[in-house]
């Protein structure tokens, strides 16, 4: 079954603390993994994707095929990082995104 | 920067009524999608559309749903006879292509909140 699991509904940290938002997936094949972010009253937007291997706004995510995980990390959280974060995947033929439940990140001053 | 737009932002309807949700994808994009998010639940795929036909649909996308690209710019989702459980946020998305290392990012619209009474 194709599934994305984000175990935490809410993650609350203080400014400057490290952040890790967890994402595990189930997919038979080679999926592409993404993190989308939704800031308050804004649209879903792509944060990063595993094939790019880049860091966006200080966030990184490494695809671990052995653990079927794609956790999102940032060493020092900022207040402006507060948002909903969604992990998602597509199959190797592209197309539809399968989303996790989302994790709300709250960064306190 | 070009954006996907959706209208209306909020639609209230009576159960059994037909609704049409409208989307204007980014102009050079070829693949179009509808997703929905019931309050408190995950974003779910409904349907994808390419070259004037449905390329994939989910189990949710039953005979009550249809999509259309009536002209060169709009992409619509019609629900023929709305049910209470159709209440959700509906997102439109578009991409240049469905497959490709740097061209298949899906860009999302702001969503239409559908409330069925």
Contact B42 A93 (CB under 8 A): no
Residues of A in contact with B44 (CB under 8 A): 99
Looking at mean pLDDT, say which of A71-75, A87-91, B47-51, B103-107 comes out highest: A71-75
Architecture of the domain spanning A3-108: Sandwich (2.60)
Q: How far apart are CA A47 and CA A37, in angstroms?
A: 6
Of all residues in chain A, the one with the smallest CA distance to B49 is A95
Q: Which residues pair with A105 in a beta bridge?
A: A11, A83
- Residue A54's Cβ-count burial label (10 Å; 0-12, 13-18, 19+) is exposed
Contact A46 B106 (CB under 8 A): yes
Distances (CA, A) of B64 to A96, B17, B19, B40: 20, 11, 11, 23
Contact A100 B98 (CB under 8 A): no
Of B31, B42, B48, the CB nearest to A99: B42
Domains of chain B: 5-98 (2.60.40.10)
Percent of chain B whose predicted confidence (pLDDT) is above 70: 94
- Note the pLDDT of residue A41: 85
Contacts across the A-B interface (CB distance below 8 Å): 57
> pLDDT tens, B13-64?
999 999 999 999 999 898 999 999 999 899 999 999 998 999 999 999 999 9
Contact A99 B44 (CB under 8 A): yes
> Which one has a higher pLDDT value, A11 or A93?
A11
**Selection from A49, A55, A44 nearest residue A102 by Cα:** A44
Contact B43 A86 (CB under 8 A): yes
Could you tell me the residue ranges of all domains in chain A?
3-108
DSSP string, A21-40: E--EEE-SS--EEEEEEE-T
Averaged pLDDT for residues A27-38: 90
Percent of chain A whose predicted confidence (pLDDT) is above 70: 97
């Amino acid at each position: 079954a194709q599934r994305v699991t984000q175990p935490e509904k809410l993650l609350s940290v203080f400014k400057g603390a490290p952040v890790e938002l967890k994402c595990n997936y189930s997919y038979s094949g080679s999926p592409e993994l993404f993190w989308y972010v939704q800031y308050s009253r804004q649209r879903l937007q792509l944060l990063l994707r595993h094939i790019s291997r880049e860091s966006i706004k200080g966030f990184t995510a490494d695809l671990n095929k052995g653990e079927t995980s794609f956790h999102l990390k940032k060493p020092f959280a900022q207040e402006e990082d507060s948002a909903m974060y969604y992990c998602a995947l597509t199959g190797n033929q592209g197309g539809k995104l399968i989303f996790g439940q989302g994790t709300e990140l709250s960064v306190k001053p | 920067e070009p954006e996907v737009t959706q209208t209306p932002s909020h639609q209230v309807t009576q159960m059994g009524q037909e609704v049409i949700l409208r989307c204007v994808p980014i102009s050079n994009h070829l693949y179009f999608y509808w997703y929905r998010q019931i309050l408190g639940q995950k974003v779910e795929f409904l349907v994808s559309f390419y070259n004037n036909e449905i390329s994939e649909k989910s189990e949710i996308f039953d005979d009550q749903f249809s999509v259309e690209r009536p002209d060169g710019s709009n992409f619509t989702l019609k629900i023929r006879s709305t049910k209470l459980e159709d209440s959700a946020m509906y997102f439109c998305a578009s991409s240049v292509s469905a497959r490709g290392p740097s061209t298949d990012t899906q860009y999302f619209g702001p969503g239409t909140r559908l409330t069925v009474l």
